[in-house]
Amino acid sequence: MSVAEELQKLHQLREAGAINDDEFVLAKARILSAVPEAQPVPSAPLEATGLGSETLEQETRQWAMFLHLSILAGFVVPMAGLVVPIIIWQVKKADLPGIDAHGKNAFNWIVSKIIYLVAKQTKAKFGNIRWRSRS
């Protein structure tokens, strides 16, 4: 059944009163966001690429370790600890789906580090100001 036919059937159900407007909206969004079955999957299956599930898991763990340790690259090259983890995450997340959660975790760490740094600098700059009392 094509997407147009499914939407037409859904519209008929709503007109007949079988479903309410909220259910119609949810079902329509589900139909429109679904990947059509007729389209071929762009990536080759794991067997064709020579990567089994065990190899894929091992590679994901290895790149996750590199991603997390790359945060420490800032001690060697300034700002590298902020850039390198994001680059690894963006490059590898298409090939290794398991790396996405690790990339989000590292990005959260980077954002938190920047917020703490800004708060620390603000406190250092304006923390010693004494307000005059009006007594």
Which of 91, 48, 37 has the alpha carbon at shortest distance from 66? 91
Quick one: pLDDT at residue 118? 93
Which of 131, 49, 135, 63 has the alpha carbon at shortest distance from 97? 63
State pTM to two decimals.
0.54
DSSP per-residue string spanning the chain = --HHHHHHHHHHHHHHTSS-HHHHHHHHHHHHHSPPTTSPPSSPPHHHHT--HHHHHHHHHHHHHHHHHGGGGGGTSTTHHHHHHHHHHHHHTTT-TTHHHHHHHHHHHHHHHHHHHHHHHHHHHHTT--PPP--
Quick one: pLDDT at residue 36? 55
Quick one: pLDDT at residue 99? 92
Q: Which two tokens stand for residue 115?
A: 């917020």
Q: Tens-digit pLDDT profile for the chain (135 aa)? A: 788 888 888 888 888 888 888 888 888 888 888 755 554 445 545 444 555 788 989 999 999 999 999 999 989 998 899 999 999 999 999 999 899 999 999 999 999 999 999 999 998 888 776 767 665
